[in-house]
Amino acid sequence: MSGSGFHVHGPHDHELEHAAQHGGHQEDHGNSMTSQIALFTAMIATVGALFGYMGGATQANAGLYKNNAAIKKTEAANQWSYFQSKSTKQNLSELALDLGPADRKAFYESEIKRYKEEKAEIKVKAEKLEAESLDWDAKSDAEMHQHHRWAQATTVLQVSIALAAIALLTRKKWLKFGMLGAGAIGIVVGALALAHL
């Protein structure tokens, strides 16, 4: 449209002229950056998917372990109730020993002895169940801690991918470095999760 000395360039025309004047170096650099960011995004997305899976697995394990802890705690409570009923029977036998007829004293003494022995066995079972419950609780807490680490790593990798998208759109070098930094931090946090730290 230069018939009357007036010429209008569209944005595409301007880019073609600019590339022709500079030998296309800017376009090659742009394609290189695009390829690098695309490759980085694919790798980080893959690692992020693995971290997300591990986070879900550890969360599920934490729930299962917490459930096991509750079951053992209930079993321990049942044993303590059984222990208490034996204590009550022992107390009644001791009362009967003091108040009952003399010809029944030997019977009550044997009952008291039996209840003491049964209580000792029940106490050992109850304490063992309580220890198992505490062990399952500790395992659950450890899994939840690891789950939080996996979640943190996944979140940082998602931020890295978002920075990659913005860097791709804006062609800002500092955003490219930001995405690389966030990706590195995400991988380090994932390594901490893997090491149970």
pLDDT digits (tens, 9 = 90+) for 117-143: 999 999 999 999 999 999 999 999 999
Q: Is the pLDDT of residue 66 over 80?
A: yes
Q: CA-CA distance, 136 to 55, in Å (whole number)?
A: 19
Domain membership of residue 123 as a residue range: 39-194
Is residue 8 in some structural domain?
Answer: no
φ, ψ (nearest 5 deg) of residue 10: -85, 165
Is residue 156 in some structural domain?
Answer: yes
Lowest mean pLDDT among 51-65, 138-152, 165-179: 165-179
Is residue 14 in some structural domain?
Answer: no
User: What is the reported pLDDT for 18?
Assistant: 52
Is residue 172 in some structural domain?
Answer: yes
